[in-house]
Chains A and B, each alone.
Chain A
């Protein structure tokens, strides 16, 4: 057990501050426009439909993801290895490096979940670059021709955002000793690696963790706008505000200068989207981690950029707005695995009115007028009125 505790402690040390939170109920990276490819499943294979819901790419993959900037990650049917495909289903490049083992180790893990193509460079996670530790992962960037533009030299990295990518380097002998900074698409250093951690730029601002463990916010020149030990984590800036965790079930919204926007007491806050931020208010804290899944009795609403509750906290879960609609849940409870479970999802408009009644077990954001939902364990696409566009009702 002591060993397990040591592993646990070390793993917690790896995770560091909670600066980015994974929203498991709401899609983190929605597809980009034009949305003319829609994932579908046929038997045990997946492919894509076009906007007329005709098969555009036959169901031939083990798994597929939404298209972002014209490209999508898919998993090969035979070995489930990651590949990057275009809208015709053609393989742009095979993320599995087995055929190229001499170049960088023996295997490459291209994460098809969240690491999408950005700025023409695809971030890839590679195994086997460190002969001392074959399990050690490193990160690099390929262009869409499949060439390495930036070799997998980094021990951690983010996709490019606003022309810069956060990268991190460990001391090979001591992975707790790290430096993070930002690079340009040609690999040259834009902001020196002088931080302990660094996260992606958004609206010209990025959150960093300084070597003294304080958090800071920098601009694209690397200038530190403010530094603070007051917060456990700071999320992405959006609409000029960033949610920051002050303690268990205690969130505030920070301005770029580090001052706090006056708001009601917040148990959790997501970044702004379309000038509204989903927030959780009230509730009893069960555990410091896994927020906001650990709150009992809280409810969700939406704040505007003045910090006022624009939509009353009356939902059991809430996703961010997209194209004027937001998915909300009525009846959800966090389960023992700290996941939201139960309840039904519907959509509200910016006035807080339920415009699509809760009837779905999952509801993704609207993109290009279409949203993916799950009805009775079956995938479906609906329009803004809630009408099911696909699959067509059987005559």
Chain B
């Protein structure tokens, strides 16, 4: 295997120099086509970003028209549909992790944007009690201001790395790109994708996915997380319960919803990473698919951890962002553990099946005497 050794090093050099051979060694867990589709799905997020920001990264929401609101709403519904689709796939693992009475299927999600609402009110209006899952329709309401605050807050504070979130943002970035820079990076990725059309090679796929992951962590990912969190309340039937009797119960429900959200988004993301070794390299430390961004930037900006925001069920403060980050970290770790266990079991079975099949083939050939073809 001496030449293989040389090839391995050539592979390393090529990986570093960009020769376009990434990912050749591994068998994908999803087909390459799905990986490409995932990238295009990510690129769909561009529409939202393009709605919210101009090419210079300036916010457009201050002068949002009804058409803009409709477009944002459509985009959010697409995000919800994405989550809904993948919820079915990951329901079992989420159930194991959250140990919650999950319904068989996630109810249809209808997302609405209300310009006059803020995120603080969202929690109480996020859903209506739906004891019968079959007839349920989950309604998640966002305000334009909340979205703006979330995204602007995320952008403004991106990489600013408050000290209490160091562990979540150990990405090694030395400088803090400005809002404009982040928006430009996102738009540049979209432009690269459009230019490449369907001719992406594996290295481009890898690089684009990395790029999208980095930027999504600050934009789309945060939206995914917030939406998944609200869906989590519904799936966990929190909305069917009475208002929490105390701060502790309220905060536990919030953490449960976080746990659900991170599990769903992380599992989904891992499904889209085609190569096992890339999956292994994904530690979620840069974004947790948006949860860190949300908790770090949008969360405190919206003052969610402060009490007395009014509303019958909102008398209690949300858990501190650090506590929520810990729940997110735990969820990511447990997803990784479960994934490894599942993969090991599956691997063992499929490997042994393949060895048996090859062994049988040559045993039979040897018996029949037909060795060459």
Do A and B interact?
yes
A interface with B by C-beta (< 8 Å): 2-15, 18, 20-22, 28, 111, 113-115, 130, 132-133, 135-136, 143, 145, 147-151, 153-154, 156, 158, 169-179, 183, 186-189, 193, 199
Q: A7 near B12 (CB under 8 angstroms)? A: yes
Contacts A3-B207, A150-B362, A186-B371: A175 and B12 contacting too (C-beta < 8 A)?
no
A-B residue pairs, 10 tightest by C-beta: A187-B362, A7-B15, A10-B277, A6-B281, A135-B24, A177-B347, A3-B210, A147-B372, A171-B351, A171-B347
Binds A, one of B3-11, B148-156, B263-271, B329-337: B3-11
Contacts A11-B11, A12-B12, A115-B3: A133 and B207 contacting too (C-beta < 8 A)?
no
| B32 in contact (CB, < 8 A) | yes
Q: B372 near A148 (CB under 8 angstroms)? A: yes
Nearest chain B residue, comparing its CB with the CB of A12: B12
Contacts A3-B206, A187-B361: A175 and B25 contacting too (C-beta < 8 A)?
yes
Nearest chain B residue, comparing its CB with the CB of A7: B15
- Smallest beta-carbon distance B371→chain A, Å: 5
Task: Count CB-based A-B contacts (< 8 Å).
Answer: 153
Chain A residues within an 8 Å CB radius of B29:
173-174
Q: B372 near A143 (CB under 8 angstroms)? A: yes
Q: B27 near A175 (CB under 8 angstroms)? A: yes
CA distance A252 to B31 in the complex (A): 46
CA distance A150 to B347 in the complex (A): 24
Q: B27 near A22 (CB under 8 angstroms)? A: no
Q: B15 near A173 (CB under 8 angstroms)? A: no
Known contacts A10-B278, A20-B2, A156-B1, then 7 further A-B pairs from the complex at CB < 8 Å, ordered by chain A residue: A15-B8, A15-B9, A20-B1, A136-B25, A170-B351, A172-B27, A175-B25
| B96 in contact (CB, < 8 A) | no
Q: A13 near B277 (CB under 8 angstroms)? A: yes
Q: B5 near A170 (CB under 8 angstroms)? A: no
| B308 in contact (CB, < 8 A) | no
A-B CB contact pairs (8 Å), 27 listed: A2-B172, A2-B210, A3-B206, A6-B278, A7-B16, A9-B277, A10-B278, A11-B12, A21-B2, A130-B27, A133-B24, A145-B372, A149-B372, A169-B355, A171-B27, A171-B346, A171-B350, A171-B354, A173-B347, A174-B276, A174-B343, A175-B25, A176-B277, A177-B344, A187-B371, A189-B359, A189-B362
- Smallest beta-carbon distance B15→chain A, Å: 4
Nearest chain B residue, comparing its CB with the CB of A193: B355
Nearest chain B residue, comparing its CB with the CB of A154: B358
Chain B residues within an 8 Å CB radius of A115:
3
- Smallest beta-carbon distance B82→chain A, Å: 23
Q: A136 near B27 (CB under 8 angstroms)? A: yes
CA distance A262 to B23 in the complex (A): 44
Contacts A4-B15, A171-B354: A132 and B277 contacting too (C-beta < 8 A)?
no
CA distance A332 to B323 in the complex (A): 61
Chain A residues within an 8 Å CB radius of B23:
135
CA distance A189 to B359 in the complex (A): 6
Query: Count of chain B residues with Cβ under 8 Å from any Cβ of A?
Result: 55
Interface centre among A18, A143, A148, A187 (most CB of B within 10 A): A187
Q: A173 near B346 (CB under 8 angstroms)? A: yes
Contacts A177-B351, A179-B351: A186 and B277 contacting too (C-beta < 8 A)?
no
CA distance A154 to B363 in the complex (A): 16
Nearest chain A residue, comparing its CB with the CB of B31: A132
Q: B347 near A174 (CB under 8 angstroms)? A: yes
Contacts A149-B371, A149-B372, A176-B277: A7 and B22 contacting too (C-beta < 8 A)?
yes
Residues of B202-224 whose CB lies within 8 A of A: 202, 206-207, 210, 214
CA distance A20 to B7 in the complex (A): 13
Q: Which one of B27, B348, B362 contacts A170 once the chains associate, using CB atoms below 8 Å?
A: B27
- Smallest beta-carbon distance B322→chain A, Å: 25
CA distance A171 to B343 in the complex (A): 10
CA distance A216 to B278 in the complex (A): 30
Chain B residues within an 8 Å CB radius of A133:
24, 26-28, 32
| B171 in contact (CB, < 8 A) | yes
- Smallest beta-carbon distance A5→chain B, Å: 8
Interface centre among B11, B28, B358, B361 (most CB of A within 10 A): B358
| B114 in contact (CB, < 8 A) | no
Q: A11 near B8 (CB under 8 angstroms)? A: yes
CA distance A134 to B373 in the complex (A): 23
Nearest chain B residue, comparing its CB with the CB of A133: B27
| B62 in contact (CB, < 8 A) | no
Q: A22 near B2 (CB under 8 angstroms)? A: yes
- Smallest beta-carbon distance B212→chain A, Å: 11
Chain B residues within an 8 Å CB radius of A111:
3
Q: B27 near A174 (CB under 8 angstroms)? A: yes
Contacts A3-B207, A171-B347, A186-B371: A179 and B355 contacting too (C-beta < 8 A)?
yes
Nearest chain A residue, comparing its CB with the CB of B369: A186
Q: A6 near B277 (CB under 8 angstroms)? A: yes
CA distance A169 to B210 in the complex (A): 30
Contacts A11-B8, A15-B9, A199-B1: A188 and B15 contacting too (C-beta < 8 A)?
no
Chain B residues within an 8 Å CB radius of A9:
277, 281
| B366 in contact (CB, < 8 A) | yes
Chain B residues within an 8 Å CB radius of A158:
1
Chain A residues within an 8 Å CB radius of B359:
188-189
| B166 in contact (CB, < 8 A) | no
CA distance A175 to B343 in the complex (A): 11
CA distance A6 to B372 in the complex (A): 42
- Smallest beta-carbon distance A117→chain B, Å: 15
Residues of B248-290 whose CB lies within 8 A of A: 275-278, 281, 286
Chain A residues within an 8 Å CB radius of B9:
11, 15
CA distance A7 to B16 in the complex (A): 8
| B365 in contact (CB, < 8 A) | yes
Nearest chain B residue, comparing its CB with the CB of A115: B3
Chain A residues within an 8 Å CB radius of B365:
186-187
Contacts A177-B347, A186-B362, A187-B361: A8 and B12 contacting too (C-beta < 8 A)?
yes
Chain B residues within an 8 Å CB radius of A5:
281
- Smallest beta-carbon distance A151→chain B, Å: 8
CA distance A187 to B370 in the complex (A): 12
Contacts A6-B278, A186-B365: A172 and B25 contacting too (C-beta < 8 A)?
no
Contacts A3-B210, A170-B27: A148 and B373 contacting too (C-beta < 8 A)?
yes
Q: B27 near A186 (CB under 8 angstroms)? A: no
Q: B15 near A8 (CB under 8 angstroms)? A: yes
Chain B residues within an 8 Å CB radius of A6:
210, 277-278, 281
